[in-house]
Amino acid sequence: MDFNFTEDQVMLRKAFADFVAQEVAPKAAEWDASDTCPVELFPMMGELGILGVFVPETYGGVGLGHVERLIALEEIARHSAGLAMFVFTHQLGMAALLENGTEDQKKRYLPLLCAGEKISGLATTEPTGGSDLLGANTTAVLEEDHWVLNGRKCFITNSHLADLAMVTAKSGEDEKGRNLLTIYLIEKGTEGFGPGRKEHKMGLRGSVTGELVLNNVRIPKESVIGAVGKGYGIAAKTIGEVGRASMAAICVGILRGCVEESVKFANERIVYGKPIAKLQPIQFHIAENRLDYEAGKLLLYRAAKTKDEGKSAVAEFSMAKHFGTEAASRAAKRTIELMGAYGVIDEYPAGRFLRDALTSISSGGTSEIQRLIIAGDTLKTFA
């Protein structure tokens, strides 16, 4: 067993960290305060290979894997979980396209998405629920050589930004009367398709979340991603192995932030003539932050390595996501407590860590949904 990153991965992490130190860290608090999405960084992130790091070179990517993709997200989320959310949702659309698109679709769109010239996203959630994918009310009807879509999606990241949205819709029923879903690729500007209400979130600010409205949207027959009626499997796998992985990476980034900020503060804050790092209760907080960070990191990268080896990692990513979001939430609260009154002041990032961590819990499936997935896998694996 090898728990170490390769030399290339270590160097990539440093390259991503340099980008973050220069372009993200100095502005992260401002993006959070003003809820501004730094779309202007996208072409640079494309040029640096961050967006398409997991996409083969044939389609404009770097040709690496999900371990490298998650290293980049962790580095970004260390300073701006909101920007990491924006980036990973773009990658969610790319992953759906990469793993299920036709050769023509991949060659047409992926180079633009890798370069950051176009923004993508995946839209599944509806007012009726997020994890209940099959309960969707958005419909797709085939009329000669066009599909006609009607419905409303909500809590969609990149809703107001995406040039290319992958949207799930009910396209029929199986022999038992259950809904069959299909994923459709819809370009920005298509008549009848556009953003609706924009949400104001507590955390992950700087990423745009809102509605997508489909009102008699007519798209060509070949706009289907994968096969007709196979949308549930594609969406579930993409969310399960790319979405949840990314939420876990975001939370590992937040956890590292908690460790680093608590150590820095504890060394600098002098009380009763000595740094508070010398006090055992403070050391307990720091030790617990470190434990949560290390455990979250191990779960995340083990799952990512499993996926890169071509094996299913749905349960592994559920564990990483469940643990990561919950651990980041408690570590952020702990960091605030360690800092005393300073912890709740905006000049320090601990408050932002807590808001971002709490907001991460519901994204990609709540902790209860993750426990259901983990339990299902456990009952099968350990029977």
Element (H, E) at 86: helix 81-100
Q: Which is nearer to other proteins, 11 or 345 (CB)?
A: 11
AA letter at 366: T
Cβ–Cβ under 8 Å, residues 122 and 157: no
Name which of residues 29 to 48 contact other proteins (CB under 8 A). Answer: 44, 47-48
Name which of residues 195 to 224 contact other proteins (CB under 8 A). Answer: none
Distances (CA, A) of 21 to 15, 24, 27, 243, 366: 10, 6, 10, 25, 31
Binding test (CB under 8 A) with other proteins, winner from 24, 38, 66, 68:
68
Count of residues of this chain found to bind other proteins when the rule CB under 8 A is applied:
21
Question: At what angle are helices 314-339 and 367-381 packed, to 10 degrees?
Answer: 140
Beta bridge partners of 172: 180
Binding test (CB under 8 A) with other proteins, winner from 49, 82, 116, 130:
49
- To other proteins, the closest distance from the beta carbon of 344 in angstroms equals 27
- To other proteins, the closest distance from the beta carbon of 13 in angstroms equals 10
Label residue 377 exposed, middle or buried (CB < 10 Å: 0-12, 13-18, 19+): middle
Cβ–Cβ under 8 Å, residues 209 and 159: yes
Asked if residue 60 binds other proteins (CB under 8 A), the reply is no
Asked if residue 369 binds other proteins (CB under 8 A), the reply is no
| Binding span for other proteins by CB under 8 A among 63-71, 184-192, 207-215, 309-317 | 63-71
Label residue 367 exposed, middle or buried (CB < 10 Å: 0-12, 13-18, 19+): middle
- To other proteins, the closest distance from the beta carbon of 347 in angstroms equals 20
Binding test (CB under 8 A) with other proteins, winner from 24, 28, 62, 96:
62
Asked if residue 12 binds other proteins (CB under 8 A), the reply is yes
**Residue numbers at the binding site for other proteins (CB under 8 A):** 7-8, 10-12, 14-16, 18-19, 22, 44, 47-50, 53, 62-64, 68
